[in-house]
Amino acid sequence: AQSVTQPDIHITVSEGASLELRCNYSYGATPYLFWYVQSPGQGLQLLLKYFSGDTLVQGIKGFEAEFKRSQSSFNLRKPSVHWSDAAEYFCAVFRNFGNEKLTFGTGTRLTIIP
Amino acid sequence: ETGVTQTPRHLVMGMTNKKSLKCEQHLGHNAMYWYKQSAKKPLELMFVYNFKEQTENNSVPSRFSPECPNSSHLFLHLHTLQPEDSALYLCASSQSLLDTEAFFGQGTRLTVV
């Protein structure tokens, strides 16, 4: 079945530390890939997206993600997190043929400690 | 602010009540979506509208009834809901069905008692 997997339900990091959130997908072809962030009580905001080309993409708020075809992964990274980064992060894929739709992972909740 | 506005932000309703959720966008988008977000589950796509026409209904129970009177407005009418329907309901829009970037509203937190 086509799916998006975020293996980490909850991650806690110290402010100023580096961050990596994992995302794996199981599609035959490379889909379009996204990371969204949801702050408490808010809707989803697009952080970054990958369609093709350079496998390292830059997003807003200092985030970046790297697409690795061999690992079917699209992990989100940030070199130094800020307390305001505490939120829930969702990886999503969009199949660009056939039944086009956004499919989301279950999300990773990020907690920042001082 | 994404340009997609949902009202109300919070709603508590009894199982015999009838209520409606509203979504409004003035981004000039032609596709609108309802998603359900439950704890520890992926976002579930409920309905898709394209140019006011419903193009997808993902086996959603009939107690949820969508309405799209124009490309800028989307409603979700609720009646005889169950406690397990309590969730965050998110509206989203995109320029077209093939547009990969969706803009989300802040959601309506629904509690069914």
What pLDDT does residue A97 have? 54
Q: Which residues of B touch A100 (CB under 8 A)?
A: 97-98
Length of chain B: 113
How many whole angstroms from its chain centre is CA A1? Answer: 20
Strand partners, B79: B18
Q: Which residues of A touch B98 (CB under 8 A)?
A: 100
The CA–CA distances, whole Å, from A44 to A11, A61, B40 equal 19, 14, 16
Picking from B32, B33, B43 by the largest number of A CB atoms within 10 A of its own CB, the best residue to mutate is B43
Burial A63-98 (b: 16+ CB within 10 A, else e): bbbbbeeeeebbbbebeebeeebbbbbbbbbbbeee
pLDDT tens per residue, range B50-78: 888 887 777 899 999 999 999 899 999 99
In this predicted model, which residue has the larger pLDDT, B39 or A70? A70
Average pLDDT over residues B25-35: 92
Nearest to A60 by CA among A74, A77, A47, A76: A47
